């Protein structure tokens, strides 16, 4: 596998993990948003990733490297949480407020996992770059 394909695979993973981090941050930021533009509470979003071939070896008939891309960002249709808060402007007749379906600790774990994956792919890119530099130095 050419090293450029390995770098491209890790670079695609960097983009995917960045998207996961951005979505988790958005979910956390809106964990208390009881009213959006449509008048309903915020709904949690999630990133759907899909593998993506980056090069094709005609002799072997297979992909040389497999990257990843963001296929979609989906809206979680789980029920809203309910919290008793009768003084809240969005409270219903029984005093309950519909809260976003965001679990902040779960989002923090997702963000931590995405951060670790981002760091691992950055390390892989740096390792490949260092290998190429050493090979060029040996060729002198």
Nearest to 44 by CA among 104, 112, 105, 100: 100
Handedness of CA 83, 84, 90, 91 (dihedral sign): positive
**pLDDT computed for residue 62 by the predictor:** 62
pLDDT tens series, the chain, 140 aa = 577 888 889 999 999 999 999 999 999 999 999 999 999 999 999 999 999 887 666 555 565 778 999 999 999 999 999 999 999 999 999 999 999 999 999 999 999 999 999 999 999 999 999 988 898 888 87
Q: How far apart are CA 43 and CA 74, in angstroms?
A: 10
Q: How far apart are CA 10 and CA 115, in angstroms?
A: 14
Strands (E), 13-92: 45-57, 62-75, 81-84
């Amino acid at each position: 596998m050419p090293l450029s394909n390995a770098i491209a695979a890790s670079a695609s993973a960097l983009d995917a993990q960045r998207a996961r981090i951005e979505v988790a941050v958005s979910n956390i930021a809106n964990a208390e948003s009881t009213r959006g533009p449509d008048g309903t509470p915020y709904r949690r979003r999630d990133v759907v990733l899909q593998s993506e071939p980056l090069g094709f070896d005609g002799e072997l008939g297979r992909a040389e490297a497999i990257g990843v891309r963001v296929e979609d960002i989906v809206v979680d249709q789980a029920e809203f949480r309910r919290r008793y808060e009768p003084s809240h402007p969005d409270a219903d007749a029984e005093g309950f407020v519909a809260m976003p379906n965001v679990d902040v600790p779960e989002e923090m774990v997702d963000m931590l996992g995405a951060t670790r994956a981002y760091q691992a792919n950055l390390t892989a890119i740096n390792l490949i770059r260092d290998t190429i530099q050493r090979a060029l130095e040996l060729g002198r």
